[in-house]
Amino acid sequence: MIDFFFEPVGVAVVGATPEPHTAGFNLITNLTLSYRGPIYPVNPKHDEILGLRCYPRVSNIEGPLDVALILVPAPAVPQVLEDCVAKGARGAIIESSGFAEVGSRGKALQDRCVAIARKGGMRLWGPNCMGFIDTSKGHVFSFVIPEAWKEGMNAGRVSLIVQSGLLAAGFITTLMGNKTLGLAKVCSIGNKCDVEETELLEYLLRDRATKVIGLYLESFMNGRRFIELCHSSPKPIVILKGGKTPLSAEATVSHTASLAGNDQLITGLLRQANLHQAEDFFEMIDMARTLEKDFRLQQPPQGRPRIAILSYSGASGIVTTDHLEKHHLTLARLSPQTQKRLEELSPAWMPVKNPVDYWPAAEKHGPSLAYKHGIKVLHDAPEVDGLIVHLFAGFGIWFLDMKEVMSVIKGSRKPILFWLIGPEKGREPTRLTLEQEGWPTFHEIHRTVRVMASLFAQSRQKERMPGIPSPGLSIDPSLKELIEKADRNQAAVLDEFDSKKWLRALDLKVVDEAIAQDMEEALTKADEIGYPVVLKGRVEGQVHKTEAGLVKLNLCNAGQLRSACQEMLNLKPKPDFFMVQPMLKGDLELIAGVIRDPQFGLAAMLGLGGIWTETYRDVAFRLVPLTQKDVKEMVSDLKGEALFKGYRGSKPVNMGALSDWLMKLGWLAMTYEKIEQIDVNPLLIIDGEPVALDATVMLTQDSKI
Amino acid sequence: MIDFFFEPVGVAVVGATPEPHTAGFNLITNLTLSYRGPIYPVNPKHDEILGLRCYPRVSNIEGPLDVALILVPAPAVPQVLEDCVAKGARGAIIESSGFAEVGSRGKALQDRCVAIARKGGMRLWGPNCMGFIDTSKGHVFSFVIPEAWKEGMNAGRVSLIVQSGLLAAGFITTLMGNKTLGLAKVCSIGNKCDVEETELLEYLLRDRATKVIGLYLESFMNGRRFIELCHSSPKPIVILKGGKTPLSAEATVSHTASLAGNDQLITGLLRQANLHQAEDFFEMIDMARTLEKDFRLQQPPQGRPRIAILSYSGASGIVTTDHLEKHHLTLARLSPQTQKRLEELSPAWMPVKNPVDYWPAAEKHGPSLAYKHGIKVLHDAPEVDGLIVHLFAGFGIWFLDMKEVMSVIKGSRKPILFWLIGPEKGREPTRLTLEQEGWPTFHEIHRTVRVMASLFAQSRQKERMPGIPSPGLSIDPSLKELIEKADRNQAAVLDEFDSKKWLRALDLKVVDEAIAQDMEEALTKADEIGYPVVLKGRVEGQVHKTEAGLVKLNLCNAGQLRSACQEMLNLKPKPDFFMVQPMLKGDLELIAGVIRDPQFGLAAMLGLGGIWTETYRDVAFRLVPLTQKDVKEMVSDLKGEALFKGYRGSKPVNMGALSDWLMKLGWLAMTYEKIEQIDVNPLLIIDGEPVALDATVMLTQDSKI
């Protein structure tokens, strides 16, 4: 439990100083301004700081002490922690830098700190962090500049967890300067050597002051638990994931691994967890502050939220429409009733359609009446799920009393977001009024639309089914045998021939193949199978078969087969034996697999295969175990989703069979922990049914069933 | 010539009124405040407005009159124009609405206006527009609110052309409120019934007050000329294209047409013209105002501009890096010398790498010295092409004198862009100082990076080769015959059999095929060709062959061929004859074509083919005639670019042969104007060489060679 950090009895400030413009001064100042319990400055150079008795060491403190805030140079921190343990403190927030973030020596120092704390039963927060601000209690346990928060601390319901030290300060100060973002708790977790995002998230999910959670994270300490928490969270969670640079594009054995190595695995899992994903800091905040509003979201009948635009300009209506398309929102088709009501204020020559260009109405009746009427009518229209209003706040009659205008909306409210422009002196008071009334405003069209889309993504979340357990398959004797063989052999990579045995043992459909020890046998088998055939040469452990010349496709007759065999027999090493397979023609070439991710654990992958796999990277990831719904969502994550429904007369993909495939692969990897990866490529769809043409199972040596 | 609009002798304001808060009042007020020549209010209800003699009609004006600004209701405009013609005015700016933008009756009214003007030798600007603002002469020929520009008119070198009426006002007013965007001319062209973007662009390219041009356009009146002007423009041009919503996704005969129907054709042509493409209004402005600065751009040796990041936060450095990747910029690798110089101020425990986290340096030496040193060192480093600085402007020592800090940069300057945050009262003065010193600031990281990328795109522009004429092929007799036959037959769509004749006549490689009148002949031909073969049935004019059951692939022997023939013979209508083709296996399946676009004329298309074409829409367009360089750029526009270089041992695509294909298709369509479209799908790459497997030529009946 980390609750005590937020309500400690007794706080020490180790490294407090009376010298202005230093972090140590800011920290002790913030404590005196914000915390009412006992405060103990600790600094051997002073007897008193800001009128408080100053202690040379933590061990000299006499009163009760729950938390130490530490700002001394990194090398001095372990001794401070020893003192804290001795004193019986429950936790320490290390706000100093110079630990793991600066390299291996810093990492060693950090590890020492963790060891001391663990041994002493103490929790650590940080290091390399800004601590936290808790607006509900008014606590500022951070060295953020006092001027920054003294005027701007606006209690609210958005809490942030930020894996960063210094950004938090500048950023939060900027937000506070806006006066309209209500923050609950802002937690800077820095290097998160002990207290990390998942535990804090758990705390914030319980925290009654927190309604929406925003996160900036570069890594996940406890990925699977994190995803599970998010998945079941009734509170909206927005995340900005930093560090998306793809790993080096070196060739790897497995497509699954190279596709997972870049950002797509995490993106898929975050989607699985129903997180809102932002791409920049202010975008994260814009999403969070809007999700915090109590908008009533209705479910659009066709799935795509229907948006009305009320504007004073055709051009901005058009650009807004362009952005709607990008975000899978759609323009609402206004009913004749709605049109008629809107036309009450529009001149006869101006036809009303969506986007609604209400300039002529504003010119005729004044902008105040026009906006009132337009907003009221579009808000009331059942065919409108959300409304984007373009507002210019400037001079004279174009400086509206928006509190009065918005008073037309009573009770439960559909989302109405404003694209607000105008010169500062008109815009700023209008922004404040609208925000205070609960109507979010934005400075750019693309952001307005992006945030509208995130609102509806949130509403979809509530539909979600709970996860169900993986299919309770018993281990088939043939599978057991394969596992035992793998354990014996200590093989790291199983080639196609062996890998496909595992799939067959799971009762998954794999291309038929006949083994042939020599050319003559291959010819006989081919006759039995029927031309055209595929010839593969088996060299144990060789997984790059195409490049090694061990695959010949579409052999149409004995002559072609014979020369293919001969070519392979000339290779070095020559194949152990041949595999003859029918040349299957499918409607769709997929790739499927499972991979054990170091941060999140087992994840399954599904994507479009063939030569395009690496080009378009059209793949989706989800944590294992999967439900049928997960597999459906994986398909809908793909740009090539439409191909699954059948095209040019081909059958749609049997989703039950596809789910079975992915669920069983996941189940296998869960059951046999040695499995690092399974790569099924291609997984061909023939008459709607998935059939594996090739597969690779990769194992580690460090665990067993 | 439209120059007279910007320097008229005598301006009438038709529809001037003394009633405040009306457009007619604003317009006459703006004239009196900004224009020094004779001003004539025209309104039969008044004798005098703002101390000026008011005329009942334009025909009553006695003095010289070049331009009439018209704001009377739409139905009254034709009469006003008649009066203007009678008076000998050279042009009119119709700022009233109620024309083509409101429907067919408005369009008819607009056409009447154009007819009157054409007949009278007068030019029209608008209607449904805001006129223009010219800061160099101080002219405001627009009904924008006077308060909006009186304080904000900041002369500068960015000119705008905006296809919009009212947006211009709110938007420009907002920009003026920022005090830092220097505008030269802002032209609102509304419905552009006569004066349109291309003519204005031509004027602005000559205009000495204009250095950078920004455009908001929804359509192109003279697309080809527009692209040509942009292509050769030494001035940077930024465009926001509104109206990207794809056309309805109904099935069309041609892939080329359905792919062109959405935004991709225009995007390709704008890229060909070296335009900077923005996606939102402020993004357009952010790009334009930065391109206006005199940055010195060095060419990165590896093609990707190398960016250094100077930050006070690891997290914002990481997020900036993520955005660099998205925009094809890369992190500069700092040389040992640069690192050493940076380390002069950094504490020993803090290793310096890019992104440079200079917080410890700022803490040790104060932010002013740290920023000065960091900016100087990174600006001087030859391995850095551009610098992004993260700056927090807040309180106390974090409120830097940026004029002083930036004084370390002398003479020619690399681009340095600031991501500036902080509470308003600190941020705003810092922004003003930086902008006045010529250093652009941005509020969001993604925008900062996007604009940096656009700067380097501009530098690439200068490398461009001029266009060369199309290959001067003479018309081969066999082609002449085909053309004559097409003229005779009045066919609108040529099927595969006929279409491929055209390609052969151009000496382009097309799959061999043997004609067979019946099953027995098909069997004989297949024996000659060698199995596997493809059987196609020819039904004249049928282009949806697969759907009609007229294509059977990969037939491996006589038995398979026989049943395929039989199936086709059972169809209604049954095929006229069979085509037997070898079953070719290529390394890459492309799609190529030409299309006559109503706005831009002939354009060529190249894309990745197969079932993925409609899914990923990975296609590129360029105006015809093409150069080899254009074709190379088309390939580099494709996400699948890497596949052209060979993959898994396949040969790279012969770029000369591919260029030949596209250039010849373009040449053909230029030569024979009846060609509406040519669709070559698939264009297979076999051993690096393009071979067409299927093609469709579409013709119109309204023109000839």
- In angstroms, the separation between the Cα of residue B531 and the nearest Cα of chain A is 7
The answer to whether A448 touches A417, Cβ cutoff 8 Å, is: yes
A vs B, Cβ pairs < 8 A, gives 264
**Interface contact flag, B313 A23, Cβ < 8 Å:** no
- Best of A107, A313, A388, A648 to substitute, by most chain B Cβ atoms within 10 angstroms, is A313
| Closest in A170, A532, A611 to B554, CB measured | A532
Q: Do A147 and B396 touch (CB under 8 A)?
A: yes
* DSSP code for A460: H
> A21 contacts in B (CB within 8 Å)?
396-397
Most A CBs within 10 Å: which of B392, B451, B639, as the mutation test of the A interface? B392
Question: For residue B325, which residues of chain A lie inside 8 Å, CB to CB?
Answer: 244-246
Buried b (16+ CB within 10 A) or exposed e, A286-319: bbbbbbbbebebeebeeeebbbbbbbbbbbbbbb
Is B216–A315 a contact, with Cβ atoms under 8 angstroms apart?
yes
User: What is the distance in angstroms between the Cα of A361 and the nearest Cα belonging to chain B?
Assistant: 12
The answer to whether B437 and B403 are in contact (CB under 8 A) is yes
> What confidence tens digit (pLDDT) does each residue in B303-321 have?
899 999 999 888 899 999 9
Shared-domain flag, residues A625 and A548: no
Query: Tokens in use for B657?
Result: 């042969």
> What does R_g of chain B's alpha carbons equal in angstroms?
31
Nearest chain A residue to B608 by CA distance is: A612
Comparison of pLDDT for B102 and A237, the residue scoring more: A237
Looking at the fold, whether A405 and A375 belong to one and the same domain comes out as yes
Q: Are residues A490 and A366 in the same domain?
A: no
CB contact under 8 A, B349 and A102: yes
Chain A environment of B356 (Cβ under 8 Å): none
Both tokens of A383, joined, read 């065919």
What is the pLDDT, as a whole number, of residue A471?
52
Same domain, A472 and A558: no
Rounded CA separation A545/A539 (Å): 9
**How near does any CA of chain A get to the CA of B313, in Å?**
5
Contact A368, A401 (CB under 8 A): yes
**Tokens at A384, concatenated:** 């409108």
pLDDT in tens, A645-704: 988 778 999 999 999 999 999 999 988 888 999 999 999 999 999 999 999 999 986 544
Interface test with B, best of A176, A316, A388 (most B CBs within 10 A): A316
- pLDDT, one tens digit per residue, over A293-332 is 989 998 888 789 999 999 988 889 999 999 998 998 999 9
The one-character DSSP state at B319 is: H
For the segment B179-191, what is each residue's pLDDT rounded down to a tens digit? 788 899 999 999 9
pLDDT tens profile A31-59: 999 999 999 999 999 999 999 999 999 99
* Beta carbons of B319 and A281 less than 8 Å apart: yes
Q: List the single range of A247-256, B135-144, B347-356, B402-411 with lowest mean pLDDT.
A: A247-256
Measured between beta carbons, the chain B residues lying within 8 angstroms of A97 are 350, 359-360
Judge: A315–B164 Cβ closer than 8 Å, yes or no: yes
Work out the percent of chain B whose per-residue pLDDT is above 90: 65
List the single range of A351-355, A604-608, B258-262 with lowest mean pLDDT: B258-262
The pLDDT tens digits for A124-156 are 999 999 999 999 899 999 998 888 888 777 889
What are the respective helix, strand and coil percentages of chain A, to the nearest 5? 40, 20, 40
| Domain enclosing residue A80, as ranges | 1-128
What is the CA angle A531-A536-A541, rounded to 5?
Answer: 160
* Nearest residue in chain A measured CA to CA from B241: A319
Structural domain tally of chain B? Answer: 4
Per-residue model confidence as pLDDT tens digits over B458-500 = 765 544 434 445 455 567 788 888 888 888 887 788 888 889 9
Helices (H), A278-423: 281-291, 314-326, 336-343, 359-365, 367-380, 402-406
Q: Does the structure show a pLDDT above 70 at A235?
A: yes
Minimal C-alpha gap between B112 and chain A (Å): 17
Q: Is residue A573 included in any domain, yes or no?
A: yes
Last residue in a domain, options A95, A128, A161:
A128
The CATH number linked to B524 is 3.30.1490.20
Within 8 A of B161 by CB-CB distance, chain A residues are none
CB contact under 8 Å between B392 and A588, yes or no, is no
Question: CA A632 to CA A679: how far, in whole Å?
Answer: 20
Cβ within 8 Å, pair B444-A283: yes
* Sign of torsion over alpha carbons A322, A327, A332, A333: positive
pLDDT, tens digit (0-9, with 9 covering 90-100), for B548-574: 899 998 898 899 999 999 999 999 889
- pLDDT for res B704: 41
CB contact under 8 A, B167 and A315: yes
B-chain residues within 8 Å CB-CB of A608? 612
pLDDT in tens, A591-610: 999 999 888 889 999 999 87
Both A325 and A404 in one domain: the answer is: yes
Report CB contact under 8 Å: A177, B423. Answer: yes
Partner residue opposite B242 with nearest CB, options A322, A557, A615: A322
Q: Which CATH number does the domain housing residue B77 bear?
A: 3.40.50.720
Distances (CA, A) of B150 to A537, B51, B77, B146, B433: 82, 20, 29, 6, 22
Task: State whether the Cα torsion A399-A344-A438-A331 is positive or negative.
Answer: negative
CA angle B552, B557, B563 (to 5 degrees): 50
CB contact under 8 A, A585 and B446: no
| Structural domain contains residue A548 | yes
Query: For the segment A158-173, what is each residue's pLDDT rounded down to a tens digit?
Result: 999 998 866 667 888 8
- Note whether residue B500 is domain-resident: yes
Residues A590 and A550 in one domain: no
Domain membership of residue A300 (yes or no) is no
- Quick one: B479 and B604 in the same domain? yes
Report chain B residues whose CB lies below 8 A from the CB of A218: 315, 318
Q: What percent of chain A has pLDDT over 70?
A: 94
In a domain, A200, yes or no: no
Better-predicted residue by pLDDT, B495 or B8: B8
Q: Return the closest-CA partner of residue A344 out of A333, A330, A355, A356.
A: A356
A690 in the same domain as A555:
no
Residue B283, in any domain of the structure: no
Q: Is residue A553 part of a domain?
A: yes
Q: Residue A580 has what DSSP assignment?
A: E
Contact yes or no for A174 and B422 at CB 8 A: yes
Same domain, B401 and B534: no
Chain B hits for A152, CB-CB cut-off 8 Å, are 423
CATH number (domain holding residue A431): 3.40.50.261
Least CB-CB distance to B148: which of A147, A395, A446? A395
Report the chain A residue with the minimal C-alpha distance to residue B107.
A349
Considering B583, B599, B632, which residue would you say is the last residue of a domain?
B583
A171 and B314 within 8 Å at the Cβ level: the answer is no
Taking a C-beta distance cutoff of 8 angstroms, is the pair B659, B508 a contact? no
For the stretch B671-687, pLDDT in tens is 888 899 999 999 999 99
Q: Tell which of B104, B128, B152 closes a domain.
A: B128
B505 and B633 share one domain = yes
User: Which chain B residues touch A358 with a CB distance below 8 Å?
Assistant: none
The verdict on B432 and B568 lying in the same domain is: no
Q: Is residue A135 part of a domain?
A: no
Contact: B318, A363; criterion CB under 8 Å? no
CB A14 within 8 A of CB A82: no
Task: Please tell me whether residues B504 and B522 are part of one structural domain.
Answer: no
pLDDT of residue B238: 97
Residue A530: other Cβ atoms inside 10 A: 12
CA-based nearest residue in chain A for residue B247: A325
- Shortest CA distance from A615: residue in chain B: B640
Candidates A22, A104, A147, A166: best to mutate against B (most CBs of B within 10 A) is A166
Q: What is the mean pLDDT of chain B?
A: 89
CA distance B392 to chain A (A): 6
